[in-house]
Structures are given as structure tokens and as C-alpha cells.
Structure 1
Amino acid sequence: MALFALQLKFTDPDRRMEVRPAHRDYLTELYAAGKLHTAGPFTDQTGALLIYDVADEAEVRDIIAKDPYTAADVYEIVTLQEWQQLFPPA
């Protein structure tokens, strides 16, 4: 398995708030399935950081494509990169 960090920049705050319940339900499902390591918005609500635990980049891109935020077009991807967890030790 590999960890991938996704940094988002929100582009449509009003639409984002409309879609947020569905997005959070989706993240809850991913977390329960062991596919989401951690996630949350930045405190200024301009974007978010999500860490996925997946087989490869193809899987994380598929997960992102199915996110309700993607269908609603409420963000831009700033960074999608494989990430190495140092602490706490895995």
C-alpha cells in the first residue's frame, strides 16, 4: 500500500457547502474501508488536505473522481503526491 497526499484549493464556497454532507459521507465510507488515512480542511476554509492509503496512484485518482466534490467542481488540485509517513512510525 502507498500513502498519497492530496491538497485542494476550494473554488466555489457556496456550492461546496451544498455538497459537503455528501462529500463527508463519502470520506466516512473511505475511512471505514481503510482507504482514507486522515483528512480535513484548512482552518481558513480555503482548501483541504487528505491522505489516502491505496495500492497506487491509479486507485487514488479513481477515488478522487468519485468524490461528490469532484462532480460539483468545487476545487482545484494543488498537489497529488505519494507521501512517506515518518511519525508516528507505521
Structure 2
Amino acid sequence: MSIFAVEYVYDADSSELRNEHRPAHREWLQRLADEGRVLSAGAFEDGAGALLLVAAADEAGLHELLKEDPFASVGAISGMKTTAWKPAIGAFADHA
């Protein structure tokens, strides 16, 4: 398994859409966290996006998984960047 840093970008005018679908989005994230696939996730304090740390076999599998996010299915994510990440020190180093 590899760890990926996933950065979501939100449009400022999508806050109402995100608020409507946030419960389903968080349920999805929590299910994946319970399965050990989401290591951490949270919104940026400025509301412009979020960061997810996700364990996946490869980038193709990661992108298939991210398509299941309720935010993705309703168009609440305006941009996304995924980067393979290899933590060397700290809480996530054992996952790499």
C-alpha cells in the first residue's frame, strides 16, 4: 500500500452544496477510516479545500475510490491534486 496526499479545491460558491452533502461525505470518509484506507482527513480552515491522506494500492485505485466520494458525485469538488507520499518520521511512517 502507498499513501497519497489528496488535496481537494472547493469553489467559494459551493458551500451550500457541500453543507447539504457533508453528512454523506463524512460517513464515506469514516467508513474508509474504519477500514484503514483514510488515515486522516479535514478541511482547510479557510474553507477553500481539504486534505486527505489515503492508503491505496496504486494511483488508479485511488482515483476509482475518490469517485465514490459524495462530494465528487454532486460536483462539489472543483479541483483535485493527488501526490504519492512517503512519510519518514511520525505517526504515518509505519504505513509507508
Give the alignment's TM-score, normalised by structure 1. 0.93
Higher strand share: 1
For structure 2, which runs of at least 5 residues remain unmatched after alignment?
none
SS in 2 for 1:81: strand
For structure 1, which runs of at least 5 residues remain unmatched after alignment?
none
2:54 aligned with 1:43, yes or no?
A: no
Equivalent of residue 16 in structure 2, options 14, 20, 35:
14
Deviating above 6 A after TM superposition, structure 1's stretches of 4 or more consecutive aligned residues are: none
Q: Measure, in 2, the Cα distance between the counterparts of 1:37 and 1:58.
A: 18
2:34 matched to which residue of 1?
32
Count residues in correspondence: 90
Q: Measure, in 2, the Cα distance between the counterparts of 1:76 and 1:56.
A: 23
1:78 Cα deviation from its structure 2 partner: 3.7
1:81 matched to which residue of 2?
83
1:87 Cα deviation from its structure 2 partner: 2.3
Equivalent of residue 56 in structure 2, options 54, 57, 63:
54
